[in-house]
Structure 1
Amino acid sequence: MTDNPQRHQEEIAAALRASRELGPEYDEAVAASLVERVDDTIEERVKHHVARRTGADEPRVGVASNTVRMVLALVCLGISIPITAIVASLIGGAMSVFMVWAGLIGFYLIAVLGLRR
């Protein structure tokens, strides 16, 4: 935001000069124009102040949720193979392998749903 008091003073002086040159029949129009400029300046300052207080001026740095989902999927796939091999060799049986995969899929779904919040 450019807040230059000298610029504002020059604008007011220019409006007063224009009012003198145009005559009294244009006083209301010049005054309305000046009031509009003051209102715009106040509105700009309020917006800037609110944005600064809410942190909207700070650039948001983050990772796209698609990237996070892809990394999470690759990690789940990467750990699923060794876990499946360990469970199959130690416990054995199709039901234990099914439980491992159900747990991994459940973990992935919960993580993805958590990212949406």
Structure 2
Amino acid sequence: MEARDPELKSELNATLQARSELGPEYESALIDSFLEKVDQRLDVTLDRRVRRHLAEQQTMVARGARTPPAPLGNFGERFGFGVVSLILAVPLSAIGAANAGIDGLVVAWLGIVGVNVAQIARSRPLFRRSEERTKSDWEG
């Protein structure tokens, strides 16, 4: 077993040694004790990572950099939206063509394309003013 944390490895060895000395009737208490130590170690590690991440964000903000926006929707959401859009395109096309002929069909498809373009624009804005590069005092 390759352990990253020698302290936890020694705690595990001590727990196993105590179990062999005390017997199986204390096994539950020994395991609970060891898991509590692992939980404490995880809490310390997680706290350290969160503090480091917050410090990095504060540093970026202090330097004037904008944190990147969270992505709006993952691949599954975008794919699902496209599939639903195509499925709904069939009855919308039929309704538009049946009621208004070719003009109704064109209006239905313009609406479908418009909704999909709006979805793309929501997830990827075309113009991002905060990302425009400005010259600093060091550049002439």
TM-score tier, shorter chain, comes to: 0.3 to 0.5
Q: TM-score, normalised by structure 1?
A: 0.44
Q: TM-score, normalised by structure 2?
A: 0.37
Q: 1 or 2, which has the higher helix percentage? A: 1
